[in-house]
Structure 1
Amino acid sequence: MAPAVPTTMDRPHFIGIGGAGMSGIAKILAQRGAKVAGSDAKDSATARALRELGATVHIGHAAGHLAEDASCVVVSSAIRAENPELAAAAERGIPVVHRSDALAALMTDARAIAVAGTHGKTTTTSMLAVSLTALGLDPSYAIGGDLAGPGTNARHGSGEIFVAEADESDRSFHKYAPEVAIILNVELDHHANYASMEEIHESFATFVGRIRPGGTLVISADHAGARELTARIAGQYDVRVVTYGEAEDADVRVLDVSPRGLTSEVTALLDGREVTFGVSVPGRHYAHNAVAALAAGTALGVPTDELAAALGEFTGVGRRLQLKGEANGVQVIDSYAHHPTEMTADLEAIRGAAAGSRVLVVFQPHLFSRTQELGTEMGTALALADASVVLDIYPAREDPIPGVTSAMIIDAARAAGADVRHETTMAAVPEAIAGMARPGDLVLTMGAGDVTDLGPKILARLND
């Protein structure tokens, strides 16, 4: 039987309902019996999936889309005050609920695992959702990407466990009160909201303080920012801290990560026993994500050996080194990496998994503020590829910043010895790649924007 829907969310209207975070909450509410409605800038597979669940999805934003009987309006931090539906809600006195508050309400009565960190949240949350489902525990989950198996980013389950991706970008993860929390890494990002590493550490410390008394924090022992956070919060909270990684002092020790083509095998030492299991995506960082998932599930009482075996059921998540297809001997892979650390990790993973292959990258920078702060590092990361095509910056929620362009990345890449070219239009990319690629090459479409749409178009051009 579905838990009761909070009264204010029994007839919710979502502005931007097609977004990764918003759509997940909308799906769970619809599955719990709420009368869900919303709007999005364009039609999509996500919008169609919501309609199949009974939701009303309008395309475009207009005050008239807000139903007379709407009980609340759900927004994310990306929704601007001048949005006509938000303005209509204010005029009519309809409560406005932030996405994080809505998700927190859905998790209230569950045994929640919240996955946080600058990188790797979606993959780790997905690993837990898939493995716990494979064990018959029927968890609920809300993830920032679509699982390759179920093909969805959220589900209401009948079990007591709720797995959620905890977003630090706007401090919304302060709203959650999980029984178990994972912190994968701690780095400076989201520069429009955080001015310094000090603010980042304060924000993550606040998140740790939200763990339920007697709960567990699973945190990296290898990542410098995570280690500093562990030191800062020592003794402050009624929380058991479990560290994981390759560091000798890690509570859960990663002993070995062995590449197996585009997969890997990881061996970890947990509670004095070695556990070996497969990971369906390549790279050391994904193996570490799997070990974090193993430690978190074990902390919740899931048998270690059963969970390790179930983690092998994970077949990936959309946009995380996702193979889109092959044409004329060229494989096209999609990567969500948009921060230099992620870019480097994915490129190193592909290098290790496909030794001897040339790696070509189509990179679309994401956000002006991120490019302003990290453009040089992005360019340096691209030097790991054999050749790259760099697109203009994908603005998402931001307005342009004078002087901040893709040229910052291109100049840094060339200074690092990279072979890189600039394309101002997406339409020109398939032809450009067709002129560069040869059989045996790997092409990565990389970035958090709509660069993902290029994969099928590149494959079609390579097939010509």
Structure 2
Amino acid sequence: MNLETIDNVYFIGIGGIGMSALARYFHANRKQVSGYDKTQTEITDALSDLGISIHFEDTVANLDSSLLNANNTLIVYTPAIPNDHKQLAYFNNNNYKVMKRAAVLGLITENTFCLAVAGTHGKTTTTSILGHLLNTCNVPVTAFLGGISENYNSNLILNGTDVTVVEADEFDRSFLTLSPDLACVTSMDADHLDIYGDAEALKNSFEDFAKKIKQSGKLFVKEGLSLQGITYGIDTKSDYTAYNIRIENGTYVFDVKTPKTTIENIQFNLPGRHNLSNALIALAMAVEYGCPHQQLAKALASYKGVKRRFSYHIKTDSLVYIDDYAHHPEEINAVHQAVREMYPNQRVLAIFQPHLFSRTQDFADDFAKSLSQFDEVVLLDIYPARELPIEGVNSGWLLSKIENENKQLISKAEIISKINESHATVILTIGAGDIGEEVKHIKQSLQYAS
């Protein structure tokens, strides 16, 4: 399909983080962009501020007259949209060009030099670091991010169209629509078993993704994974290795050995070894692309992070409040490691909202083990997202598995009172559901109390 012939782009699920980045992209390219979403959020408000028309009721009557011409209109939808969605059914039944978000991303990137970041953890942070590095090095790049970059206050970096940086999402096997020039795999831990069935099928999908890389391209693989490629790791004998790691004034300072040389005294401001690993692979891909080492080091030092990825909302000597998107046991382990490294001997309260009944069921024991590491654990009800309940799978069941006496199940309305009762000096909110909507209220309450 030739996107040049498209005048109107309509998004069903426009408030999704990946969908909204595409909406921004088409709007910047002077297409008429509009869309639907179930709920109004900060993301939809930001799109509306750009002049993008959005409504929140699933009815064909809300469609603008500009969308009546099927020949010059593209409909983009997310897999989270149910099959009985009225607008989606209308477009499918009236010969519109209807495509999943991932397929559209594949179209946009196929005639560019594409750098793709795959993995069950770390995609968004790694992609945003890589986009920032290339942009700062004046590469004509468009980067589609799965989160809001603190550097750009956007999930789209737009500095040209020759090069693209994208998240290669394993959900629904979406990443198989891409044909990247450079790609990395950060992790292959079992996840999305509601889609894949078992861990072996997930692994096979990553192997299929590796085969999608162009013949002249390169694959980067975290040390220890079963795929073949350029390896990277921390304190390892990988092709790209971060070593001599120390913390100076709350900042990582480290050296990197590349296949050809050593880059010394690199600074990186995000806490946690998982973020250090993300920084390393982004740096490695930018080096292989051809960016100057010293310019890259300066760019990495200026990287500020992604909203809801270990995002500080309060950071004083007496109280720290951090919000994080972690929704898998390994991601919660990474948050715990970062907190303990940055705030040793301090009492930590973790408030976690499980995401998906199926994920909670599949990894209940691992969730319990990861959450038990915190001094206090508070659970919210499971955020269902696209799923119907599973009998016997609920937060009370998960709570019973946590081997920590300081545990409790509460409602969202009780979060602030629970925090006020706690003697913890480090507060964490964790999860991929709507717990992020509570952050501003929690922050306001903590600031008022202090």
Range of TM-score over shorter length:
over 0.9
Q: Distance in 2 between matches of 1:53 and 1:292?
A: 33
Query: Is the 2:25–2:156 contact (alpha carbons within 8 Å) kept by the matching residues of 1?
Result: yes
What is the letter of the counterpart of residue 338 of structure 1? H
Q: Identify the residue that residue 58 of structure 2 maps to in structure 1.
A: 61
Counterpart selection for 2:217 from 187, 190, 215: 215
What is the letter of the counterpart of residue 322 of structure 1? S
Query: Is the 1:366–1:447 contact (alpha carbons within 8 Å) kept by the matching residues of 2?
Result: yes
Q: Identify the residue that residue 241 of structure 2 maps to in structure 1.
A: 253
Q: Identify the residue that residue 266 of structure 2 maps to in structure 1.
A: 277
Q: Identify the residue that residue 113 of structure 2 maps to in structure 1.
A: 111
What is the letter of the counterpart of residue 307 of structure 1? L
What is the letter of the counterpart of residue 38 of structure 1? G
What is the letter of the counterpart of residue 191 of structure 1? L
Q: Identify the residue that residue 302 of structure 2 maps to in structure 1.
A: 313
What is the letter of the counterpart of residue 257 of structure 1? I
- Check if 1:46 corresponds to 2:62: no
Q: Identify the residue that residue 436 of structure 2 maps to in structure 1.
A: 452
- Give unmatched runs, 5+ long, in structure 2: none
Q: Identify the residue that residue 427 of structure 1 maps to in structure 2.
A: 413
What is the letter of the counterpart of residue 377 of structure 1? D
1:271/1:11 Cα in 2 relative to 1: closer, same or farther (>3 Å)? same
1:149/1:194 Cα in 2 relative to 1: closer, same or farther (>3 Å)? same
> Helix, strand or coil: the match of 2:275?
helix
Give runs of aligned pairs for residues 344-359 of structure 1, distance below 5 A.
Answer: 344-359=333-348
1:250-293 CA-to-partner distances (Å, cap 9, x unmatched) read: 11122233234653223221124322311121011111111100
Counterpart selection for 2:391 from 394, 398, 402: 402
Query: Is the 1:283–1:352 contact (alpha carbons within 8 Å) kept by the matching residues of 2?
Result: yes
Shift of 1:48: 2.6
- Check if 1:363 corresponds to 2:360: no
Query: Is the 1:331–1:443 contact (alpha carbons within 8 Å) kept by the matching residues of 2?
Result: yes
Q: Distance in 2 between matches of 1:199 and 1:291?
A: 28
Query: Is the 1:127–1:311 contact (alpha carbons within 8 Å) kept by the matching residues of 2?
Result: yes
What is the letter of the counterpart of residue 131 of structure 1? L
Q: Distance in 1 between matches of 2:200 and 2:89?
A: 35
Q: Identify the residue that residue 233 of structure 1 maps to in structure 2.
A: none
Shift of 1:246: 3.3
Counterpart selection for 1:96 from 85, 93, 98: 98
Query: Is the 1:332–1:455 contact (alpha carbons within 8 Å) kept by the matching residues of 2?
Result: no
Q: Distance in 2 between matches of 1:23 and 1:455?
A: 21
Q: Distance in 1 between matches of 2:251 and 2:341?
A: 10
1:138/1:280 Cα in 2 relative to 1: closer, same or farther (>3 Å)? farther
Q: TM-score, normalised by structure 2?
A: 0.94
Q: TM-score, normalised by structure 1?
A: 0.91
Q: Identify the residue that residue 76 of structure 2 maps to in structure 1.
A: 74
> Helix, strand or coil: the match of 2:193?
coil
Shift of 1:327: 7.9
Say which is worse superposed, 372-381 or 50-59, in terms of deviation: 50-59
> Helix, strand or coil: the match of 1:146?
strand
What is the letter of the counterpart of residue 427 of structure 1? A
Shift of 1:313: 1.4
Shift of 1:453: 2.2
1:140-194 CA-to-partner distances (Å, cap 9, x unmatched) read: 0111100012110013322522111111011000000111001101111011111
- Give unmatched runs, 5+ long, in structure 1: 231-240
Shift of 1:25: 0.8
Q: Distance in 1 between matches of 2:322 and 2:57?
A: 31
1:374-394 CA-to-partner distances (Å, cap 9, x unmatched) read: 111111111221101100100
Q: Identify the residue that residue 163 of structure 2 maps to in structure 1.
A: 161
What is the letter of the counterpart of residue 422 of structure 1? L
1:458/1:249 Cα in 2 relative to 1: closer, same or farther (>3 Å)? same
| Runs (4+) off by over 6 Å | none
Counterpart selection for 1:176 from 175, 178, 194: 178
1:30/1:155 Cα in 2 relative to 1: closer, same or farther (>3 Å)? farther
Between the aligned residues of both structures, percent identity stands at: 33
Query: Is the 2:235–2:243 contact (alpha carbons within 8 Å) kept by the matching residues of 1?
Result: no
What is the letter of the counterpart of residue 437 of structure 1? H
Q: Identify the residue that residue 131 of structure 2 maps to in structure 1.
A: 129
Q: Distance in 2 between matches of 1:214 and 1:51?
A: 41
Say which is worse superposed, 176-185 or 258-267, in terms of deviation: 258-267
User: How many residues align structurally?
Assistant: 442
Query: Is the 1:371–1:404 contact (alpha carbons within 8 Å) kept by the matching residues of 2?
Result: yes
Counterpart selection for 1:443 from 423, 427, 431: 427
Q: Identify the residue that residue 294 of structure 1 maps to in structure 2.
A: 283
What is the letter of the counterpart of residue 447 of structure 1? G
Q: Identify the residue that residue 237 of structure 1 maps to in structure 2.
A: none
Q: Identify the residue that residue 264 of structure 1 maps to in structure 2.
A: 252
Give runs of aligned pairs for residues 185-204 of structure 1, distance below 5 A.
Answer: 185-204=187-206
Query: Is the 2:221–2:227 contact (alpha carbons within 8 Å) kept by the matching residues of 1?
Result: no
1:6/1:442 Cα in 2 relative to 1: closer, same or farther (>3 Å)? same
1:192-220 CA-to-partner distances (Å, cap 9, x unmatched) read: 11112221121001111111111011110
